[in-house]
Amino acid sequence: MPKGKPVPFVHVKTSAINKALSENMGFVQDVDMAEIIEESRLHPCLVRCGNGRFSCPAQDVAHFVKIITEHGLDYVRDVSVQKV
């Protein structure tokens, strides 16, 4: 390693997506979605419902959850970020 000035310590913020994958096995709550959307609005998310599951961009999760739950005929089981 070449000698020279020491490299200052730089705090690297853990990404919200990596945090969800490592700490919560990929599952996210609605409070986490804003940070994930800010980081990568097109990151694929898996939405599991009572009648199936589908993948959509992070920016569209809230919209689809509203559509699914607004009539009370179905429910959202969970939302997770997909590892890409």
Contact 75, 69 (CB under 8 A): yes
The residue range of the domain holding 21 is 16-81
pLDDT given for residue 14 in this prediction: 75
Q: Which strands sit side by side in the sheet containing 76-81, from one edge to the other? A: 27-28, 76-81, 44-49, 52-57
6 within a domain of the structure (yes/no): no
CA gap 28, 10 in Å, rounded: 27
Which pLDDT value is given to residue 24? 92
pLDDT digits (tens), the chain, 84 positions: 556 676 565 555 679 999 999 999 999 999 999 999 999 999 999 999 999 999 999 999 999 999 999 999 999 999 999 998
Cα–Cα dist 75/32, whole Å: 19
Is 3 within the bounds of a domain?
Answer: no
Number of domains in the chain: 1
Is residue 53, in this structure, part of any structural domain at all? yes
**What pTM, to 2 d.p., does this model score?**
0.80
Instruction: Answer left, alpha or beta for residue 44, where phi above 0 means left and psi between -120 and 50 means alpha.
Output: beta
